[in-house]
Each structure stands twice: as structure tokens, then as C-alpha cells.
Chain A
Amino acid sequence: MKRIINLIVNNKAYEIAVLPNRTLTQVLREDLNLLGTKEGCGIGDCGACTVILNGRPVNSCLVLAVQANGCNIQTIEGVADGNNLHPIQEAFVEYGAIQCGFCTPGMVLSAKSLLEKNPKPTEMEIREAISGNLCRCTGYQKIVEAIQAASKKMKKR
């Protein structure tokens, strides 16, 4: 049986009827048409589906939409301020931290959660924070450099 749930996604309120077996990834992509959130493995290994749920980054492929009822969610679509990229997104572009881009939404959201808690992370802290996000293209080095650069940029603003 479908259930009515309320979500706040990127500061916008939604009321949706969902079947209990649909994941948050599916509802974001298929019902809300927010295609920035990717589904890679579907079982918690890759982090392509990362969203920020009530302030914490999680694997949305392992969250039932009904479990997210009443929650506040941020997806990659909610990171930029209109046409102005977030400093983390800018740094990813500048440092060549994006190749195919499939891991990028998740990487950016994990990095954002890190920098909000810890504005001046060490390299190890950065690597630890993105350890649930796999990238098959960049070899991670440029992603780490981009996050270091973003940390400096954000301090200046």
C-alpha cells in the first residue's frame, strides 16, 4: 500500500505517495526528477547515491523513502547558489577533479559535510571523509587537491 510522505528537498517541501519498497534514490530521481543523485552499486559500496539527510551524508540507495519521511534532504542540485557554483564545485572544475563525473555529486556532498564540520582538514581527514565514495577515473589525487583548495577558498569568504 502506498504511503504519503513529506520531504524537504533543497529547501522545497514535497508531499508524495510512495510504495514502501522504493528507495530514497529512486524517489529523488524518478518522482522529483532530481537526476544528479546517481545509482551505482545499489548496496552501499560506491557512494554515487550520496545525499545529505538531516545534516549527515548517507547512501540514499540504502534508505527507504518512507524512512526519510519528515526529513530534510540536500542533493547536489541544492549545492550551487543559483548560477554561482559552490567553492567546492569551483575547485573540482579548476583542479580537474572531474572526469566522467559519475562520482562527482557524491564526492562534493561528502566534501561539503566534511568542510562544514572541519574547515581545515588534514589530507588524511579528507581521504577518510571520502572513503565511502569510489572514483574509477581520477585516482583521487585531484579530488583531494580540490578539497584542500576549497577549504582555503571558503576560509577567505
Chain B
Amino acid sequence: MLLLPRFDYEEPKDLSEACRILAGLKGNGKVIAGGTDLLVNMKKGLISPTCLVGISKIPGLSEIEPQNGSIFIGSNLIVAKLTEFEVIKKKYPMLYEAASVLGSPLIRNRATIGGNIVTARPAADLPPPLIAMGARVRLKNRRGEREVELDRFFKGPGETIIKKDEILTGIILDEPPIFSGGNYIKLGHRKALEIAIVAVASFIVLDKPDGIIMDAKVILSSVAPKAIHAVSAEKTLIGEKPTDKLIERAANLASQDCSPIDDIRGSAQYRCAMVEVLTKRTLTAALKQAKKSR
């Protein structure tokens, strides 16, 4: 049986108490949300914080709140709920798709959106669609609050810009633009309990249903230390009229935009080939959605 090392446990009743406790722990404490990453790492002996700070009793952190057009998703919301709320499925289908393929039903009932972000695994499922849709995260400590684009949050595997005394309170997503569409595909060896071999999230905005591409985001996951933009693919798409040929060119460029590694889940060569396939499929699906959306 894998045992957990000893630690203290605090359960603040509100955010200001949580910030005070974290500041007092001087970097030796860790927030625990669902615990599905943290407890595994602690059982494996990879980390041993002296105190865990449970955030589940803090009001407002586990809810979704509409805020004139945009929505605020509390960091402690479980992944299962992202697949249950009608507003996510309708307005942010990409996030719904990513949430439905995370782990297993059992994991999704504990894993939180905030934990999936802060843990900063290169293959995490929620960051690619969130980055593609321009999500921002809200961070709070005792001295104040800041809002950061998720695109600028990650530094590398397990590394982010969050400070040791900061709490991620939530994620903000703006109302998707008219004539926009997005799609996320995760490729794994099996359908459940699987870490992505490659995953791609694409998001495009048209000026009118049969118009040109005003904005394009192609986010590649599991092919670099963190989710990355397929920069040349995005450049090729913007300002053009979408055609099958354009999408094929963008997909080919995307496979050159990444430099993955060989590991037990797949070789670098295979990953590049799959980036091309998934970029094509996600762009095609995103385009179809954008033409219909209003």
C-alpha cells in the first residue's frame, strides 16, 4: 500500500483566510483541490509539503457565474461539471470535449479545472482549448489580485508563473465571437485513463459565414514541454478564405512547428505525422461550426 507522508491540514473558510495561511507557510504549504495530481505525487514521494490547504469550503470557488457576456469558472469546479452545464456544451464546446476525455468518470468527479491548470502537465487536457479561446486566470494572494492570460501562465512541465502564496481563484472566458468555432481532439492508445500522445485544439473566427478567417489559433499539446502555438499554421490561415487546400497547408506547417520527443507513448516522427492529421481534422470541424454559429 502506498502511504502518504505526514503533513498538517488547514481548511480556510474564506479566501482571505486562505491567503493568510499560505503566506504564513512561506512556501512549505500547498493548495489541495481534488488531490488527483497532488496525492499521487506525494504517495510517490516526489513532493512532501508540510501543510495542505483545502479550498473546498471557500464559497464561490466551485461555481460558474455569467458576467455580462463572459463567464467566470471557479477554480474548484470539478471536471465532471464542465460536461454537465448546458452553457459550457453550447457556448464552449471545445472545453466540453476536453473535459469529457479527461481521465475516467471517477477522476472527473474529483479533478478540478484549477488543479488541471496549476499542475502544468505537458499533456493536460483543459489548457489547450482554454488557451485557444483566450482564457484568462485570476490569481490572488494577501497583497492583491491579478489577471493573466492563460497563454502566458505556463513556463514548462510543472512550472508556471503562480507564486507560492497565490491561489488560482478562477478562469474567465469571454463570449465567443460571432462566426467562430473550435474543436479539440486527443489521441491516445485507449479511450479512458489515457495521457494524450498528441492533442490539438483549433479555434477560428470568420468575418461572415462564407468570409475570410479573421483569427486562428492552433494549439498543440504533448509535443513540447508545454502547450504551444503552431505559429506558422496560424499565420497562414489568418486573412485567407478557408479552403481544403489552405487547411492542408496549415496542417502541414503545424507538423513542422513542433519538435516532439520519442517516448514510450510514441516516436517523434509519429507525433509529427499525427499533428498534421489532427490539425486538419480540428480545423475542418472548427470551420464547419464557425459557418453555422451566430
A56 interface residue (CB < 8 Å to B): yes
- Cross-chain contact A66 with B9 (CB below 8 angstroms): yes
Chain A neighbourhood of B56, CB < 8 A:
67
Chain A neighbourhood of B7, CB < 8 A:
20-21
Chain B neighbourhood of A53, CB < 8 A:
109
User: A residues 43-59 with Cβ under 8 Å of B?
Assistant: 43-45, 47, 50, 53, 56-59
* A67: contacting residue among B1, B32, B109, B191, CB under 8 A: B32
* Contact of A47 with B110 at beta-carbon distance under 8 Å, contacts A64-B35, A67-B35 already known: no
Beta-carbon nearest neighbor of B54 in chain A: A67
Chain A neighbourhood of B43, CB < 8 A:
42-43
Bound CA–CA A88/B104 (angstroms): 21
* A20: contacting residue among B3, B52, B80, B104, CB under 8 A: B52
A129 interface residue (CB < 8 Å to B): yes
User: A residues 18-71 with Cβ under 8 Å of B?
Assistant: 19-23, 39, 42-45, 47, 50, 53, 56-59, 62-64, 66-67, 69
A119 interface residue (CB < 8 Å to B): no
Q: How many residues of A contact B (CB 8 A)?
A: 31
Chain B neighbourhood of A121, CB < 8 A:
none
- Cross-chain contact A62 with B36 (CB below 8 angstroms): yes
A123 interface residue (CB < 8 Å to B): no
Q: Identify the interface centre among B43, B103, B104, B193: most chain A CB within 10 Å of its CB.
A: B104
Interface mask (A87-123 → B, CB under 8 Å = 1, otherwise 0): 0000000000000000000000010000000000000
Chain B neighbourhood of A44, CB < 8 A:
36, 40, 103, 106-107
User: Can you list 9 pairs linking A and B with CB atoms under 8 Å apart?
Assistant: A20-B7, A42-B43, A43-B43, A57-B105, A59-B110, A63-B110, A66-B54, A131-B104, A132-B103
5 smallest A-B Cβ distances: which pairs?
A: A132-B104, A131-B192, A20-B9, A132-B106, A42-B2
